[in-house]
């Protein structure tokens, strides 16, 4: 293996259908770390989700090309990995670049840019410099330029230099202004987000390094913690500016495209779901469901799947490219989920083939993964019909916008105890309101009304529907 072939550049891969860029959220490794094959090394947010990317090779992290908080195009190198770390030093143009040696007196805190690195090297802005190259020593804080220059003569192997001019005895040299501030990468990112110049700060950390507290004090802004999503830029006024990117950006683009492409129609139906609520309680008592979290959404999903079997045209898409309506013989059931990064709609593949127990597990899995922000892009593509459960927020119903490529979406509202005429008498019943939005190019008023009516009939008496429809 040649020395140069040892160092392999790992490029940002295409993490989904048609994705062109991603934002580096967090590096899970540092330069000098030994990593294994398929070990997660970086968390990246794309327009669809936040995902952890595994290492393509085992070895040692030789260089990190992109800092956290940077948006990178697909195919651009983000990290270099030394796949043969025991093969000796690697001569290259980058490794021969001049670096600054850490001060001999007093160790710099590990992790600081300008601090010590494995093998006696120094952590430079990106990556480590070589151990074998002798370079000009950076003067200690508070030490004169003349003293530092005299202590460490220039290395002839790098470039001959003229001897330093003698300092005048009557006029001692002023302390050298630091050309680089010691600070950890998260502190640098915080300062960048808040618009703080690190060179203007006096660090309170080891060897004068700038800490998070120093940055926050300078900005006069108290932040509990930086969230994983885009941090609002504070400009000192009574406004916040939040960058539109990632999941939020894609959602906005899709909603605008859908709203102005598919002619939306929304219909509403108020339903007595008392029997559904009772059926859910009976289901919870059954041994095979005791370890599964159950909610009314399970019965709504089942109602949708049975109604699609009766009205398959609802489960279709409009193809303007081929002038066709494509009717799907499978149902990838999407469930809208609100996350810290914005609205996403992951879907359960082939939901129509699942048992009631499998459907419950699938719904729980989607919600739990969505809360962590790590829903894979594959779970958010290929949906055919979606449900938006606005009832969890105490909302009666809504007029949802179609996800791109789908012809209908159902809003499921909150279930409330409501006075209702039941068997000729006014009683308190469990009532909800459904809202169905559909593409009027595919679904006319009659089809949309029948489809919504069948969902309502199932929820009014799920036991009877299961016996008569299946």
Residue positions annotated with a catalytic role:
440
CB 416 within 8 A of CB 277: no
The DSSP-derived string for 77-99 is: EEEEEES-TTS-----TTTTS--
Helix (H) or strand (E) holding 426: strand 425-439
Distance, in Å, from the CA atom of 121 to the CA atom of 48, rounded to the nearest integer, reads 39
Distance, in Å, from the CA atom of 332 to the CA atom of 46, rounded to the nearest integer, reads 22
Burial classification of residue 260, based on how many CB atoms lie within 10 Å of its CB (0-12 exposed, 13-18 middle, 19 or more buried): exposed
CA distances to 67, 107, 368 from 32, in Å:
16, 18, 34
Q: 342: left (phi > 0), else alpha (psi -120 to 50), else beta?
A: left
Q: Helix, strand, or coil here: 176?
A: coil
* The token pair that represents 144 in the structure block: 């004169």
Neighbours of 406 (CB within 10 A): 26
CA distances to 379, 447, 463 from 332, in Å:
10, 20, 24
Distance, in Å, from the CA atom of 323 to the CA atom of 131, rounded to the nearest integer, reads 65
CB 272 within 8 A of CB 430: yes
The DSSP-derived string for 338-370 is: EETTEEE--EETTGGG--HHHHHHHHHHHHHHH
Question: Whose CA is closest to 99, among 80, 119, 79?
Answer: 119
Q: Helix, strand, or coil here: 12?
A: coil
Distance, in Å, from the CA atom of 138 to the CA atom of 152, rounded to the nearest integer, reads 9
DSSP letter (8 states) at residue 163: P
Q: Helix, strand, or coil here: 35?
A: strand
The dihedral of CA 87, 91, 93, 95: what is its sign? Answer: positive
* The token pair that represents 85 in the structure block: 């770390």
Question: Whose CA is closest to 214, among 244, 183, 168?
Answer: 183
């Amino acid at each position: 293996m040649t020395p140069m072939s040892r160092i392999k550049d790992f490029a940002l891969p295409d993490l989904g259908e048609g994705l062109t860029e991603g934002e580096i959220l967090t590096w899970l490794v540092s330069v000098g770390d030994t990593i294994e094959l398929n070990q997660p090394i970086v968390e990246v947010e794309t327009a669809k989700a936040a995902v952890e990317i595994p290492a393509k090779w085992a070895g040692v992290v030789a260089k990190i090309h992109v800092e956290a908080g940077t948006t990178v195009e697909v195919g651009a190198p983000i990290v270099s990995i030394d796949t043969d770390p025991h093969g000796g030093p690697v001569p290259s143009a980058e490794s021969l670049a001049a670096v600054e040696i850490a001060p001999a007196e007093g160790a710099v805190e590990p992790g600081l840019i300008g601090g010590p690195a494995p093998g006696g090297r120094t952590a430079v802005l990106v990556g480590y410099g070589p151990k074998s190259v002798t370079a000009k020593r950076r003067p200690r804080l508070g030490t004169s330029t003349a003293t530092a220059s005299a202590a460490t003569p220039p290395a002839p192997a790098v470039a001959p230099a003229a001897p330093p001019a003698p300092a005048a005895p009557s006029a001692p040299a002023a302390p050298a202004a630091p050309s680089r501030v010691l600070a950890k990468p998260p502190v640098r990112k915080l300062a960048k987000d808040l618009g703080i110049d690190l060179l203007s700060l006096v660090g309170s950390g080891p060897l004068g390094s700038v800490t998070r507290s120093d940055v926050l004090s300078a900005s006069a802004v108290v932040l509990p913690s930086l969230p994983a999503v885009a941090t609002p830029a504070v400009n000192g006024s009574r406004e916040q500016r939040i960058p539109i990117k990632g999941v939020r950006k894609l959602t906005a683009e899709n909603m605008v495209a859908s709203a102005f492409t598919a002619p939306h129609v929304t219909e509403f139906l108020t339903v007595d779901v008392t029997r559904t609520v009772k059926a859910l309680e009976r289901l919870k008592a059954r041994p095979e469901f005791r370890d599964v979290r159950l909610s009314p959404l399970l019965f709504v999903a089942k109602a949708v799947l049975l109604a699609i079997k009766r009205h398959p045209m609802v489960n279709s898409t409009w193809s303007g490219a081929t002038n066709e309506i494509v009717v799907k013989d499978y149902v990838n059931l999407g469930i809208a989920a609100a996350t810290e990064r914005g609205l996403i709609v992951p879907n359960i593949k082939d939901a129509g083939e699942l048992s009631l127990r499998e459907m419950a597990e699938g719904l729980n899995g989607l919600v739990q993964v969505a809360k962590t922000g790590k829903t894979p892009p594959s779970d958010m593509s290929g949906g055919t019909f979606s449900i938006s459960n606005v009832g969890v927020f105490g909302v009666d119903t809504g007029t949802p916008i179609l996800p791109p490529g789908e012809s209908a979406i159902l809003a499921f509202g909150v279930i409330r105890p409501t006075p209702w005429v039941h068997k000729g008498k006014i009683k308190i019943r469990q009532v909800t309101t459904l809202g169905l939005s559909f593409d009027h190019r595919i679904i006319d008023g009659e089809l949309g009304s029948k489809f919504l009516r069948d969902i309502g009939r199932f929820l009014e008496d799920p036991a009877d529907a299961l016996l008569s429809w299946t």
